[in-house]
Amino acid sequence: MAESFFKWDKERLTTHVDAMDHEHQKLIQIMNRLYERNEAKASKTELTSIVRELASWTVTHFEHEEKFFDTLAYSQAAVHKKIHRDLIERLKGHQAEFEKTGVLGPAFFQFLKTWLTAHIMGIDTKYGEIAAKKSA
Ligand SMILES: [Fe+2]
Ligand SMILES: [Fe+2]
């Protein structure tokens, strides 16, 4: 069994909002599956369908997250949404590149990893703090 590409680390990644933590875990599962199937040299057809699943789930997750933080007095909401738009653009860029070349290179996986650590730890945890205060 290959080493997982990305491990869920509650201490570092929790937003303290269960629904969002579950969605992040689902994203990580898809990323790990993509990594493992790519390492196993799966067909382009199979990899394409996982990349599409990842892209569509990312869009859905961002929609859910934005709906959620719109219910909070979250002053960074507009900036956070802008970051989501940029991430989707970059993800779609990588996706288009892959669909053209059939290759998922290190730059793609590096992007996924950075996105997760930087975005979940640095940005998503912010609405988590506000949500925690609200329910306290
Ligand atoms: Fe986010
Ligand atoms: Fe998120």
35 Cα: distance to centroid of ligand 1 (angstroms): 22
Percentage above 70 pLDDT, the chain: 98
What is the C-alpha separation between 44 and 63, in angstroms, rounded? 28
Which amino acid type is present at position 119? H
- What is the pLDDT of the chain when averaged over all its residues? 92
Domain ranges of the chain: 29-135
Give mean pLDDT, residues 54-80: 95
Measured in Å, residue 120 CA sits from the centre of ligand 2 at 6
Ligand 1 center to 41 CA (angstroms) = 31
Report residues near ion ligand 2: CB below 5 Å: 65, 124
What separation in Å is there between the alpha carbon of 70 and the centre of ligand 2? 14
- Residue 100: partners with Cβ closer than 8 Å, 6 or more residues away: none
Q: What is the pLDDT of residue 1?
A: 45
- Long-range CB contacts (< 8 A, 24+ apart) of 92-99? 92/55, 95/51, 95/52, 95/55, 98/47, 98/48, 98/51, 99/48, 99/51
Q: How far is CA 11 from the centre of its chain?
A: 17
pLDDT in tens, 4-62: 888 888 888 899 999 999 999 999 999 999 999 999 999 999 999 999 999 999 999 99
Measured in angstroms, how far is the CA atom of residue 117 from the centroid of ligand 2? 10
Residue 38 near residue 49 (C-beta atoms within 8 A):
no
Q: Give the list of residues 6+ apart from residue 114 with CB closer than 8 angstroms, or none.
A: none
Range in 26-40, 68-82, 116-130 with the lowest mean pLDDT = 116-130
Residue 92 — pLDDT band, cuts 50, 70, 90? very high
Domain 29-135 in CATH 1.20.120.50? The answer is yes
Q: Please compute the mean of the pLDDT values over residues 93-111 and round it to a whole number.
A: 94
